[in-house]
Structure formats: structure tokens, C-alpha cells
Amino acid sequence: MEDKIRRIGVLTSGGDSPGMNAAVRAVVRTAISYGMQCVGIRRGWQGLINSDFVQLDAASVGHIISRGGTILYTARSEDFMTEKGRLRAVSTCKMLGLDGIVAIGGDGTFRGALELSRLGVPVVGIPATIDNDVGCTNYTIGFDTACNTAIDCIDKLRDTMQSHERCSVVEVMGRNAGFLALYVGIAIGATAVLVPERQLDFERDVVERIRSARLAGNTHFMIVVAEGVGSAVEIGKQIHEAIGIEPRVTVLGHIQRGGSPSARDRETATRMGYFAVRAFHEGRGNCIIGTREGEMVELPIEEALAMKKHLQMDRYKVLETVSVSVPKPRADLDG
């Protein structure tokens, strides 16, 4: 990589997450502060193949820090998975005079970044996914907002579940990771949370927890299901067959990806964007910006992609402990 970086590109790829715009804003304005130009690549890696770009300046990223989604749009590119597609992307970089790319997304985005870096285009990655499943970082942009959105929706569901004395089964996103489900489940005081990292024992994890809550006097129950476990509809059917109650099933879906980013996501995205451009300015590329104990860290892309993140099962123990219903005292034993 050349010592002098004159122009960089920035793109968002994969699933959108709240805070991506804040990261784009930070990349553009930090680049300008270092005397660099910044080009926005639209629609992820596909934009490099199709020469879909826009010149960005300080004004063009004004007032976007509070917006959800991404002003650069996002997509998954099958073309970029081919050698031909990647070579076309390299040609676009040369045509635009890009000395490097800041890629904002998850593991899939970073795998694309690794392939591009092997063809001579330096890339710095910023982790942004509501799943929080990128192994090299404690935190990914969008997770906090997605949790708050899910919590708000479930709180509203609980109001009607309490009124009708019903069981609610709520499916949240997360693909094959249970971080979102477990965090939300603890925050809303769920009766049970089902995550892909824990082998499901339906009798133990669902039926007995509902029975325990009912024997303690509760008449409404909240079951949170990570999408990686399976269909919430099927879980609901199993509950009906096992206990006889008829659950109401809600799949929150993509609503969890939308909305104005939280303070944590705005602040983290801004810091990550700054550190990504600073890495280029100081002559470093082919790395991913992550967080460790609240501090920003840089890791080589290959090393970062090899890292795995494990669900903190002590949090599951917290959930099981504090969600245990204590039987209400009998009136004839009072006093």
C-alpha cells in the first residue's frame, strides 16, 4: 500500500443495520480531515462490479447520523463470488483511483474484503450486523438498536398477553446465533429463551418452565425463540400439543433492522469509522476494526475471520435463575 492515500471508497454490504449511516459519515469526514477524497460505492460489492458510485463530501453525509438503513444501499453479490467479478471490481478501483476500501458489514462482507485484498486493493472492515456474531469483536454496529426494537415490541405484546392470559411465542432474528434472543430474553424477563447454541430439550426448556410459572400463579408466558432454532410456529404447535394451551406466535422479522440507531450504535459506529480511516492514513490496511473491553482494536483480516464468538452461557444461567417463578403464599397461611 502506498504511503500517501489520496482517495478511498466506502461501501455497506450484506444485511443493513442501524448505525451504518453513522459509520459512513465518520469515514467521509475523517477522510476529509486527512486530505483524502471519499467515494461512496452503492449496493455493496456489486457496486464495484457495476461502477455504481457517488462522490461524497462533508455536506452529503450531513444529517444522516440519526437515520436507519444505509444511504449507500446494500446487497449481496453473487458476481463478486466469482474470479471474473472480483477482477471487474479491481478494474473499477483502478478507474476511480481508489487507494483502499472501507467495507461495512459482517463476516460475508469481510470474506469479500479478504479476496479483494489478495488482488492488491487494501481494505479495512467495520463490523455491522444486528446478529452480533462477528468473532473478532465484542460488539457489532446495530445490535443495541435491534435489541431495543425487539424489547419495545415484546413489551407491547406482553400487555395484551396479560390481558387475555395467554402464552406468546416470539421469534427474533440472529440466523445461527443466539446473542440477540438471549439479550432480549433477559431484558424482558422471558419465561424461556431458545438459542441455537444450546441443545433444545423441549420438555425441560419449554414445558417445565411454563408449568413452573403456572403453578406459581402466573397466567401469561413469554417464550423467545432465535430464528436459528427453528420456526416459532412449530414451537407454538408443540406447546399446544404438550400442554393444551394455544400460544400466539409473532415473528418480528425485519422490523428489528430498522429505526433510528441508539446512542451506543451511533457512538460506536463513529469511532469505528474514524479508526478505519486512521489505519489507512498511518499506512495500514487489510484489517478489521473491532472492540475489546470498550477499546478499539485492529486485527488482520485472515486472523479476524478465523476467530469464533461463543455465546456467554453464564447469561443463560442468569436468565434461568431470575425467571424462576416463586410460588405465591397461600391466603390461609398468611399471618
Q: 273 and 126 in contact (C-beta within 8 Å)?
A: yes
- Identify residue 158 by its one-letter amino acid code: R
Q: 226 and 174 in contact (C-beta within 8 Å)?
A: yes
Backbone phi, then psi, for 291, in 5-degree steps?
-120, 140
Which of these, 207, 226, 201, 200, lies nearest to 167 by C-alpha position? 207
How many Cβ atoms from other residues are within 10 Å of residue 216's Cβ? Answer: 12
How many Cβ atoms from other residues are within 10 Å of residue 23's Cβ? Answer: 33
- Identify residue 223 by its one-letter amino acid code: I
- What are the Cα distances from residue 333, in Å, to 12, 23, 24, 172, 253? 63, 60, 63, 42, 47
What is the spatial distance between Cα 41 and Cα 50, in angstroms, rounded to a whole number?
10
The DSSP bridge pattern shows strands 248-251 and 287-292 to be unpaired
Mind telling me the catalytic residues? 131
Backbone phi, then psi, for 315, in 5-degree steps?
-70, -35
Q: 185 and 224 in contact (C-beta within 8 Å)?
A: yes
Q: How far does Cα 301 stand from its chain's mean position?
A: 19
What is the spatial distance between Cα 191 and Cα 213, in angstroms, rounded to a whole number?
8
How many Cβ atoms from other residues are within 10 Å of residue 252's Cβ? Answer: 22
Instruction: Scan for cell 457517488, then name that residue.
Output: 54
Q: 10 and 42 in contact (C-beta within 8 Å)?
A: no
